[in-house]
A and B are shown apart, each in its own frame.
Chain A
Amino acid sequence: MSDALDVDGLERKAYLVYNEDGLLDIITGFLMVFIGYYVLSKVDIPFAPFLAIFGPAVWASLKKAVTEPRIGRVKFGPGRRSRQQKVIMAFAVAVNVLLVLSFFVKTGPFLGPWRTTLYTYGVILVGSGIVSLILFTIGHFNEVSRFKGYAAVSVPMFVAGHFLTDPGLDLFQRLAHVMIPLGLLMLAYGGVTLWRFVRKYPKITDVGVDG
């Protein structure tokens, strides 16, 4: 009874079930691998708008195809929805900070000596300062602790990337060399999580519930 009276705990439990499917890991991991290959291949096609439009659409379709037939449909309250909007806003701010930063790194009159520092330690600074922070933010606001784990793992990966990648490469190419294995790790763990989810929650027709 006391469980039923703990409404915050119930809401959180209901919300967390929706992230047990590993789709967030798979989509984020795929995007990181895709962006990494895109940077390394030097293809001159602007993929950002493509990803911005189709990314959420693919996400929604996967949720409908995989998650909803297994755990049902739910509309969360305004508090949870406003929290999700804050995550989206945080993403938009992070992407804009990244764009402004890359603009200053390239044109750089305002950065002065910071420009050299960014070029020298960019893999650690930009990697840990932005990519790891984004992963941590997703984990924190979506209450998915796996993403805090990815953020923690990514910091030593970016530090290792600083020493292991060719210093003669462009900063973003060096970052891509770390983002690809990090994305593959997320894809692999997301795949395992999805497999567990599908086993734990078979489609309701599969378990023969007919009343």
Chain B
Amino acid sequence: MAEDNREELPSVGDIDKMIHEPARLLIVAHLFVVESADFLFLMRQTGMTFGNLSSHMSRLEAAGYIDVEKEFVGKKPNTKLSLTRSGREAFEGYRQSMRQLFADGAPGNPEESGNHGQRS
């Protein structure tokens, strides 16, 4: 059974590194649960600084995962961010890989292997 699980686990190469980086994962996860949010909202929710958020935002935009729209709210400029379709698909794929990884238990983890043994 342990062998079967090992075959289903995602390989390192399957994990999307653009999303796997913790700061970008937070940004994408927060955008995944809403339709759109502005720069300030993401700063507050993720606890990231302006510069840090800005640099990760540029990378995600270059990868085609987020859509950045500049607009004016009243007289003030506002940056609205939303996930693109490919961004959503990438995050869903990433979640699925991680769920699979955590649910099945990492190979070589004696505790998890023990549990599997007890269950079967």
A209 contact from B34, B35, B50, Cβ within 8 A: B50
A1 and B98 contact, CB distance less than 8 A: yes
B98 contact from A5, A7, A17, A76, Cβ within 8 A: A5
Q: Bound complex: CA of A51 vs CA of B102, how far in Å?
A: 53
Instruction: A5-B95, A5-B99 are known; give 15 further A-B pairs, CB within 8 A.
Output: A5-B29, A7-B32, A7-B95, A10-B29, A10-B30, A14-B41, A72-B40, A72-B42, A73-B38, A73-B73, A74-B41, A75-B36, A77-B34, A209-B50, A211-B49
Q: CB of B106 within 8 A of chain A?
A: no
Q: Bound complex: CA of A209 vs CA of B46, how far in Å?
A: 14
Q: CB of A62 within 8 A of chain B?
A: no
| Residue-wise interface mask of A (6-26) relative to B, using a CB-CB cutoff of 8 A (1 in contact, 0 not) | 011011011001000000000
B34 and A11 contact, CB distance less than 8 A: yes
| Residue-wise interface mask of B (33-68) relative to A, using a CB-CB cutoff of 8 A (1 in contact, 0 not) | 111111111111100011100100000000000000
| CB proximity of A202 to chain B, nearest CB, Å | 11
A72 and B34 contact, CB distance less than 8 A: no
Q: CB of A201 within 8 A of chain B?
A: yes
Q: CB of B114 within 8 A of chain A?
A: no
B42 — which chain A residues lie within 8 A by C-beta?
72
Q: Bound complex: CA of A75 vs CA of B38, how far in Å?
A: 9
Q: Bound complex: CA of A4 vs CA of B99, how far in Å?
A: 12
Q: A residues engaging B (CB < 8 A)?
A: 1-2, 4-5, 7-8, 10-11, 13-14, 17, 71-78, 201, 204, 209-211
A-B contact pairs, 28 of them (CB 8 A): A1-B25, A1-B98, A4-B29, A10-B30, A10-B33, A14-B34, A14-B41, A14-B45, A17-B44, A17-B45, A71-B40, A71-B41, A71-B44, A72-B38, A72-B43, A73-B38, A73-B78, A74-B36, A74-B38, A75-B35, A77-B33, A201-B44, A209-B43, A209-B49, A211-B49, A211-B50, A211-B51, A211-B54
Q: CB of B26 within 8 A of chain A?
A: yes
Q: CB of B77 within 8 A of chain A?
A: no
Q: Bound complex: CA of A2 vs CA of B99, how far in Å?
A: 10
The 5 closest A-B pairs by CB, nearest first: A72-B41, A72-B40, A11-B33, A211-B51, A211-B50
Q: Bound complex: CA of A210 vs CA of B45, how far in Å?
A: 17
Q: Bound complex: CA of A2 vs CA of B102, how far in Å?
A: 10
Q: Bound complex: CA of A180 vs CA of B66, how far in Å?
A: 49
Q: Bound complex: CA of A97 vs CA of B23, how far in Å?
A: 50
A76 contact from B32, B34, B50, B102, Cβ within 8 A: B34
Q: Bound complex: CA of A204 vs CA of B29, how far in Å?
A: 23
Knowing A5-B29, A204-B40, A211-B49, say if A74 contacts B99 (CB, 8 Å): no
Q: Bound complex: CA of A13 vs CA of B25, how far in Å?
A: 16
